[in-house]
C-alpha cells in the first residue's frame, strides 16, 4: 500500500477494517470483539504508512466512522453526502499529492526575523495557506511585510479570505504560481514534496531570497539554520544562492 497514491491507502485500509467488522458480525461474533479485531487490523495497516500523520489517519478512520455511524442511524441516506461534499471542497483531488490540512503551530516562526531579516513591505508567500495559521504567524513576525497566500481548495481559500482580511489570498495552484516576486516563501508540505519545492525555488526565487520550511528538511541542501520547536517541530531556513 505505500506504493499507492495517497489517500488510496487510507481508503483501502478503512474498507478492509469495515469488511472484517461486518464479516465477523455476520458470523455471529459479538460487537465488541468484532470492533477490537477490526480496529487491530486498521492499526496494523497504519504502520505501513509514513509519515506519522498518515498512520494516525489510517488507525483512527475505522473507530471514528463506526462511532459516527452508531450515533447517526436515524439520518437519511443522503445526509452522508454532505460530509463527502465538504471533504471534496476542502481537499480536492488535485491536492492529494500535497500536504494535508495541518495548521502551523502558534509561535512556530518565533526567532525567524533575526535569522531572515526582511525590509518593510517585502512580499512573503505562504504556499498552500490552508486556513491561514501560517499567514497569522508570518504577520506576527513580519508586521510590516506584505503577506500573501495561495490555496487550491475553493472552500479553504474562501474561508481564509474571511479569517485573514489583511492578507492577499489567491485561489490557485502553488506549483503553477510564479515565486519570483517574493522575498520569502514559507511551506509546510510533506517530505515527498521538498525536492520539488527546492527545484521551483532555485528556478524562480531571486538570489538572497528566503525559503522557510516547517518540519521537513530539503535533503542534500545545507540549511542556513534550523530551529528546534516545541512538540518535536523544527523550522528549516534556506537562503537562495546565486544562480550559476
Residues 70 and 117 both lie in one domain: no
Pairing of strands 234-239, 210-214: antiparallel
Selection from 5-9, 26-30, 115-119 with the highest mean pLDDT? 115-119
Distance from C-alpha of 244 to C-alpha of 240, rounded to nearest angstrom: 12
Single residue among 46, 74, 102 that ends a domain in this structure: 74
Residues 229 and 178 both lie in one domain: yes
Predicted local distance difference test score (pLDDT) of residue 105 = 86
The crossing angle, in degrees rounded to 10, of helices 154-163 and 81-90 is 70
Query: Does position 2 have pLDDT exceeding 50, yes or no?
Result: no
Residues 121 and 217 both lie in one domain: yes
Distance from C-alpha of 166 to C-alpha of 147, rounded to nearest angstrom: 8
Q: How many CB atoms lie within 10 A of CB 20?
A: 18
Residues 131 and 216 both lie in one domain: yes
Residues 146 and 211 both lie in one domain: yes
Distance from C-alpha of 191 to C-alpha of 230, rounded to nearest angstrom: 20
Residues 144 and 218 both lie in one domain: yes
Domain annotation covers residue 227:
yes
Residues 128 and 28 both lie in one domain: no
Secondary structure of residue 112 in the 3-state scheme: helix
C-alpha cell at 78: 443522503
What is the rounded average pLDDT of the residues 78-96? 54
| pLDDT classification of 55: cutoffs 50, 70, 90 | confident
Query: pLDDT tens digit string along 181-218?
Result: 999 999 998 888 899 999 999 999 999 999 999 989 99
Residues 132 and 36 both lie in one domain: no
Residues 170 and 119 both lie in one domain: yes
Residues 155 and 45 both lie in one domain: no
Domain annotation covers residue 80:
no
Predicted local distance difference test score (pLDDT) of residue 88 = 56
Pairing of strands 184-187, 146-151: unpaired
Say which residues have a Cβ less than 8 Å from residue 14's Cβ, sequence separation at least 6.
Answer: 42, 58, 61, 62, 65
| Residue 151, beta-bridge partner list | 171
Query: Does position 75 have pLDDT exceeding 60, yes or no?
Result: no
Secondary structure of residue 187 in the 3-state scheme: strand
What is the rounded average pLDDT of the residues 138-145? 96
Selection from 8-17, 40-49, 180-189 with the highest mean pLDDT? 180-189
Distance from C-alpha of 192 to C-alpha of 236, rounded to nearest angstrom: 16
pLDDT top residue among 173 and 60: 173
| pLDDT classification of 94: cutoffs 50, 70, 90 | low
CATH code of the domain containing 188: 3.40.50.150
Query: pLDDT tens digit string along 162-174?
Result: 999 999 999 998 9
- Can you give the length of the chain in residues? 244
Distance from C-alpha of 133 to C-alpha of 148, rounded to nearest angstrom: 12
Distance from C-alpha of 65 to C-alpha of 87, rounded to nearest angstrom: 14
Domain count, the chain: 2
121: containing domain:
112-239
Domain annotation covers residue 15:
yes
Label residue 179 exposed, middle or buried (CB < 10 Å: 0-12, 13-18, 19+): buried
Residues 63 and 122 both lie in one domain: no
| pLDDT classification of 220: cutoffs 50, 70, 90 | confident
Residues 116 and 233 both lie in one domain: yes
Amino acid at each position: 500500500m505505500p506504493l499507492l497514491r495517497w489517500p488510496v491507502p487510507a481508503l483501502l485500509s478503512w474498507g478492509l477494517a469495515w469488511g472484517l467488522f461486518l464479516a465477523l458480525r455476520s458470523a455471529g461474533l459479538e460487537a465488541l470483539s468484532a470492533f477490537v479485531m477490526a480496529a487491530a487490523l486498521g492499526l496494523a495497516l497504519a504502520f505501513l504508512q509514513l509519515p506519522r500523520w498518515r498512520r494516525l489517519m489510517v488507525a483512527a478512520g475505522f473507530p471514528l466512522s463506526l462511532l459516527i455511524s452508531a450515533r447517526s442511524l436515524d439520518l437519511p441516506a443522503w445526509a452522508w453526502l454532505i460530509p463527502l461534499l465538504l471533504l471534496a471542497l476542502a481537499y480536492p483531488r488535485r491536492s492529494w499529492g500535497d500536504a494535508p490540512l495541518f495548521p502551523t503551530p502558534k509561535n512556530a516562526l518565533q526567532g525567524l526575523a533575526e535569522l531572515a531579516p526582511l525590509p518593510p513591505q517585502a512580499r512573503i508567500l505562504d504556499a498552500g495557506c490552508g486556513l491561514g495559521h501560517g499567514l497569522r504567524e508570518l504577520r506576527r513576525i513580519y508586521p510590516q511585510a506584505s503577506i500573501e497566500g495561495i490555496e487550491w481548495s475553493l472552500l479553504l481559500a474562501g474561508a481564509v479570505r474571511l479569517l485573514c482580511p489583511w492578507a492577499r489570498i489567491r485561489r490557485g495552484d502553488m506549483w503553477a504560481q510564479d515565486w519570483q516576486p517574493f522575498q520569502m516563501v514559507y511551506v509546510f508540505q510533506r517530505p515527498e514534496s521538498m525536492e520539488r519545492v527546492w527545484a521551483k525555488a532555485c528556478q524562480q526565487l531571486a538570489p538572497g531570497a528566503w525559503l522557510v520550511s516547517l518540519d521537513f528538511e530539503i535533503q542534500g541542501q545545507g540549511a542556513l539554520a534550523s530551529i528546534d520547536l516545541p512538540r518535536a517541530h523544527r523550522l528549516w531556513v534556506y537562503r537562495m544562492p546565486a544562480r550559476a
